[in-house]
């Protein structure tokens, strides 16, 4: 049961990620990334992180990727063209990526003491999560909120059009 | 029953696909998406290690990564819109001048 | 309970709930047409069957038999995916909604809820947020300016009001210490209407915010700008016909029902009776199982009635007014509500 679930959703994940690379049109890439993210949410659930699974769907698939598709639709970005730069990137990039993957994979395969995951493993409850988050890690949490505020201001300042400034803006 | 190394391998493969996308793709938005893919891959290994050590903090790390990714997406997409307004293109090869 | 039995029971529940939901969707359409008709001083559909009761059936048949036009120039895969996605997301979220008494069922399996999830509320919010793609993609793939404008409006509106919607529910979560819908309802059960979150938990501000945000989330009047026919000839589903249009249509009404279910569970005490323990629960096992469902259905019906009433009464907002209202009034109000609720909770801890 666990194995089937893992294989199905890991397969979906990989297929989505490969499709992201193969597709020429940004909106198809965005959709395959959404597939990756939602199947990752299921994998989180298999690892017992239920709150993160929900947050993954709500934040990543439901908010961040909506922004991406929104921008793709707004700018009506067409298919990408292949240029000299892309061929060079392929020639150098692919071997480099393969070497990197081989390195990481050997480290993981050689690692000892890794446990196994089963369906009967305990689930981290939201209560435990929030207890650590709001007691031990309160300061980082607050700092992140400042970061988000700064990001909002930055996004508004950047996206504000010059015409908007001329007419007084909003 | 799955050894956790499978999850780590999956995360490594996803990360490398993200890197490959970052190098190959020629569209600014898709390049940005590849970065998101890398972040997601790293998140998966965080969750895996949280499961391995029964530590909640690994999951909270993911939580913070998500918040930073949201902030980053907002600012990054605003930059992309600003760039598109000036250059009328999203191809990274054409956006290679500091000043027009 | 073996795994096969579990699957069979679950399958049965899924089939029954889906059929009931689709019937409810069909008759919500009729309810709306009838009610709006009465509000506008006319009869509404009255020809097919007694009191027009067979009208939904005929409507469905009409949509099935109509010619299915696919305009040239559409991006076919996404054009087909969009209505399916919309409809699927609208119907899936009903899976975690508890309709009735949880302790009724064979061998400890709850009969009136498809699955009892710890994070049920978050699941509903997550599925709703995926539903945006149906609308966004339909507009983009239709290759028509009206559709694109409609879908841009819709996705911006949905993202904006999702924040207010989520924040308005946080107060209830703080009060009840749970994301589990069943636990949230059980905490409101004891004294009936007095312990419902809207009154007993002093969440009426949150309820108001939820109501407004829900109207915007489901693209209903007075916030139906994504499809306002006077400007956009129909918005994101302009280019859709026959069954594909019907899917968007049903998705809209299924979303209304889901939103009504969430409001009932979070604010109005779910399946519990408004009299609480003042009237002792019936001894009979059948009555014990049936009455909660009736209460639940009645509450959802009242919510839907309110929907139609508002639609028949209020004029449409302008787009900038809509955005201003969401960001400048609802959001701060929702945050204030959270602050007030947590302060109250901190000084009056529930035992």
Query: Which ipTM score applies to this complex?
Result: 0.89
Partners of residue C184 in chain A, C-beta under 8 Å:
none
Cα–Cα nearest to C92, from C165, C17, C167: C17
Q: Is the pLDDT of residue A170 over 50?
A: no
Residues of chain A whose beta carbon is less than 8 angstroms from a beta carbon of chain C are 27, 31, 34, 38, 50-51, 53-55, 57-58, 61-63, 66-67, 69-70, 72-74, 123, 125-127
Per residue in C245-296, pLDDT (tens digit) is 888 888 888 998 998 999 888 888 878 877 777 777 777 777 777 888 888 8
With respect to residue A88, please indicate whether it lies within any of the assigned structural domains.
no
Which domains, from first to last, does chain B contain? Answer: 4-94 (1.10.287.3510)
Residue A75 sits in the same domain as residue A141: no
Collect all residues with Cβ–Cβ distance below 8 Å to C75 and sequence separation of at least 6. Answer: C140, C141, C143
Question: Is C60 among the domain residues?
Answer: no
Q: What pLDDT, on the 0 to 100 scale, is given for residue A168?
A: 40
**Residue A26 corresponds to which tokens in the numbers above?**
């940004």
Q: Would you say residue C313 lies in a domain?
A: yes
Gap from C284 CA to chain A (nearest CA, Å): 37
Domain containing C258: what range? 80-347
Contact state of A13 with B14 under an 8 Å Cβ cutoff: yes
Q: Is the predicted pLDDT of residue C191 greater than 80, yes or no?
A: no
Give the tens place of pLDDT for each residue, C127-176. 988 888 888 888 888 878 788 888 888 888 888 888 888 888 898 888 88
Question: Nearest-CA distance from A46 to chain B in Å?
Answer: 10
More confident residue, C22 or B94: C22
The upper half-sphere exposure of residue C232, i.e. CA atoms within 13 Å in the direction of its Cβ, equals 24
Dig out the tokens for C213 from the structure: 């945000």
In a domain, A31, yes or no: yes
**Residue A53: its chain C contacts at CB < 8 A?**
119
Is residue C10 within 8 Å of C111, Cβ to Cβ? no
Predicted confidence at residue A78, as pLDDT, reads 65
Q: Residue A38's domain is classified under what CATH number?
A: 1.20.120.1200
**In the predicted model, is pLDDT for residue B25 greater than 90?**
no
Task: Tell me what pLDDT residue A37 has.
Answer: 92
**For residue C78, what pLDDT band results from cuts at 50, 70 and 90?**
confident
Window 46-65 of B: residues touching A by CB (8 A cutoff) are 47-48, 50-52, 56-57, 59-60, 62-64
Chain C and chain B touch, per 3+ beta carbon pairs within 8 A: no
Q: Are residues A76 and A1 in the same domain?
A: yes
Q: A66 and C122 in contact by Cβ < 8 A?
A: no
The pLDDT, as a whole number, for residue B37 is: 92
Position A48 in a domain: yes
Range with the poorest average pLDDT among A43-52, B91-100, C74-83, C114-123 = B91-100
Q: Which residues of A touch C152 (CB under 8 A)?
A: 70, 73-74
The dihedrals phi and psi of C53, each to the nearest 5 degrees, come to -70, -20
Residue B29 has pLDDT above 60, yes or no: yes
Structural domain includes residue A149: yes
Q: How many CB pairs under 8 A join A and B?
A: 236
Whether C118 sits inside 8 A of A126 (CB atoms) is yes
Q: Is the pLDDT of residue B97 over 80?
A: no
Of B74-78, C66-70, C193-197, which has the strongest mean pLDDT? B74-78
Percentage with pLDDT > 70 across chain C: 95
pTM for this model (two decimals): 0.87
How does residue A167 score in pLDDT terms, banded at 50, 70 and 90? very low
A34 part of contact set with chain B, CB < 8 Å? no
Segment C177-186 mean pLDDT: 85
Using a CB-CB distance cutoff of 8 angstroms, which residues of chain A are in contact with residue C151?
A: 73
- Cis peptide bond prior to A110, omega within 30° of 0: no
Integer CA distances (angstroms), A43 to A54, A111, C105, C186, C330, in order = 11, 21, 31, 31, 35
Query: Do A8 and A76 have their domain in common?
Result: yes
Which spans in chain C are helix H? 3-39, 55-65, 76-92, 120-130, 132-141, 145-176, 181-186, 204-217, 229-232, 242-266, 285-313, 319-324, 331-347
Position A68 in a domain: yes
pLDDT at A63: 85
Work out the percent of chain B whose per-residue pLDDT is above 70: 99
Tell whether C7 is covered by a domain: no
pLDDT (average), residues C182-209 = 80
Q: Are strands B2-3 and A116-117 parallel, antiparallel or unpaired?
A: antiparallel
Is residue A104, in this structure, part of any structural domain at all? no
Please judge whether A54 and C177 are an interchain contact, meaning their C-beta atoms are less than 8 angstroms apart.
no
Please state the three-class secondary structure of chain B as a single string: CEEHHHHHHHHHHHHHHHHHHHHHCCEHHHHHHHHHHHHHHHHHHHHHHHHHHCCHHHHHHHHHHHHHHHHHHHHHHHHHHHHHHHHCCCEHHHCCCCCC
Which helix or strand (DSSP H or E) is residue A116 part of?
Answer: strand A116-117
CA distances from B76 to A31, B73, C335 (A): 19, 5, 27
Q: State how many domains chain A has.
A: 2
On the question of pLDDT at C213 being above 60, the answer is yes
pLDDT digits (tens, 9 = 90+) for A62-119: 888 988 888 888 887 666 666 666 677 778 888 888 888 888 888 888 887 777 777 7
The band of A169, judged by pLDDT with boundaries at 50, 70 and 90, is very low
CA C278: distance to chain centroid?
A: 31
Q: Minimal CA–CA distance to B21: which of A34, A37, A17?
A: A17
- Residue C291 belongs to a domain: yes
- For C130, the closest chain A residue by CA position comes to A62
Residue of B nearest to A116 (CA): B3
Task: Chain A: list its partners (3+ Cβ pairs within 8 Å).
Answer: B, C
Q: Which tokens hold the place of A95?
A: 């071997």
Report the domain count for chain C: 1
Instruction: Kindly report the average pLDDT of chain C as a whole number.
Output: 83
- Residue A162: give the domain boundaries: 137-170
Q: What element of type H or E holds A73?
A: helix A65-75
Nearest by CB to residue C132, choosing from A51, A57, A66, is A66
Mean pLDDT of chain A: 83
Average pLDDT, stretch C172-201?
81
CA nearest C166 in A: which residue?
A58
pLDDT in tens, C29-58: 888 888 888 888 888 888 887 887 888 888
- C351 pLDDT above the threshold of 70: no
């Amino acid at each position: 049961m666990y194995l089937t679930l893992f294989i199905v959703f890991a397969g979906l994940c990989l297929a989505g990620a490969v499709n992201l690379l193969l597709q020429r049109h940004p909106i198809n890439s965005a959709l395959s990334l959404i597939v990756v993210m939602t199947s990752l949410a299921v994998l989180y659930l298999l690892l017992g992180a239920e709150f993160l699974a929900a947050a993954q769907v709500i934040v990543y698939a439901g908010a961040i990727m909506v922004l991406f598709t929104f921008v793709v639709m707004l700018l009506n970005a067409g298919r990408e063209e292949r240029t000299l730069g892309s061929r060079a990137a392929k020639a150098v990039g692919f071997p480099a990526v393969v070497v990197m993957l081989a390195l990481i994979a050997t480290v993981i395969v050689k690692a000892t003491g890794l446990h196994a995951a089963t369906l009967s493993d305990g689930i981290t409850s939201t209560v435990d999560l929030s207890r650590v988050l709001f007691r031990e890690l309160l300061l980082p949490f607050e700092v992140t909120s400042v970061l988000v505020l700064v990001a909002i201001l930055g996004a508004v300042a950047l996206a504000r059009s010059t015409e908007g400034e001329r007419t007084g803006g909003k | 029953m799955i050894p956790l190394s499978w999850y780590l391998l999956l995360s490594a493969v996803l990360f490398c696909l993200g890197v490959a996308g970052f190098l190959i793709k020629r569209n600014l938005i898709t390049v940005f998406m590849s970065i998101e893919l890398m972040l997601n891959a790293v998140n998966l290994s965080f969750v895996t290690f949280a499961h391995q050590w029964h530590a909640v903090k690994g999951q909270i790390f993911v939580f913070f990564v998500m918040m930073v990714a949201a902030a980053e997406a907002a600012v990054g997409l605003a930059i992309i819109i600003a760039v598109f307004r000036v250059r009328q293109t999203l191809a990274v090869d054409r956006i290679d001048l500091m000043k027009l | 309970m073996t795994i096969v039995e579990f699957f069979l029971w679950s399958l049965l529940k899924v089939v029954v709930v889906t059929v009931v939901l689709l019937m409810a969707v069909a008759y919500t359409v009729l309810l709306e047409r009838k009610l709006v008709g009465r509000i506008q001083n006319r009869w509404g559909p009255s020809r097919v069957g007694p009191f027009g009761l067979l009208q939904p059936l005929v409507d469905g048949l009409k949509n099935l038999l109509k010619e299915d036009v696919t305009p040239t120039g559409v991006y076919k895969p996404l054009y087909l995916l969009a209505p399916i996605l919309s409809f699927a997301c609208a119907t899936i979220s009903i899976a975690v909604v508890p309709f009735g008494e949880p302790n009724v069922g064979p061998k400890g399996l709850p009969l009136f809820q498809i699955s009892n999830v710890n994070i049920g509320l978050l699941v509903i919010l997550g599925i709703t947020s995926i539903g945006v793609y149906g609308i966004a993609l339909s507009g983009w793939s239709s290759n028509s300016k009206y559709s694109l404008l409609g879908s841009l409006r819709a996705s911006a509106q949905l993202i904006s009001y999702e924040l207010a919607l989520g924040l308005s529910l946080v107060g209830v979560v703080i009060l009840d210490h749970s994301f589990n819908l069943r636990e949230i309802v059980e905490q409101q059960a004891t004294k009936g209407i007095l312990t419902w979150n809207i009154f007993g938990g002093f969440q009426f501000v949150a309820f108001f915010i939820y109501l407004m945000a829900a109207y915007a989330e489901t693209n209903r009047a007075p916030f139906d700008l994504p499809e306002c026919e006077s400007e956009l000839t129909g918005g994101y589903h302009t280019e859709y016909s026959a069954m594909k249009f019907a899917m968007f249509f049903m998705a809209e009404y299924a979303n209304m029902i889901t939103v009504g279910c969430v409001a009932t569970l979070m604010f109005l005490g779910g399946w519990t009776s408004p009299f609480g323990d003042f009237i002792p629960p019936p001894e009979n096992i059948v009555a014990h199982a049936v009455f909660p469902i009736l209460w639940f259905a009645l509450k959802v019906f009242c919510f839907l009635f309110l929907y139609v009433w508002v639609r028949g009464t209020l004029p449409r907002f302008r787009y900038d007014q809509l955005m201003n209202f969401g960001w400048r009034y609802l959001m701060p109000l929702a945050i204030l509500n959270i602050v007030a609720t947590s302060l109250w909770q901190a000084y009056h801890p529930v035992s």
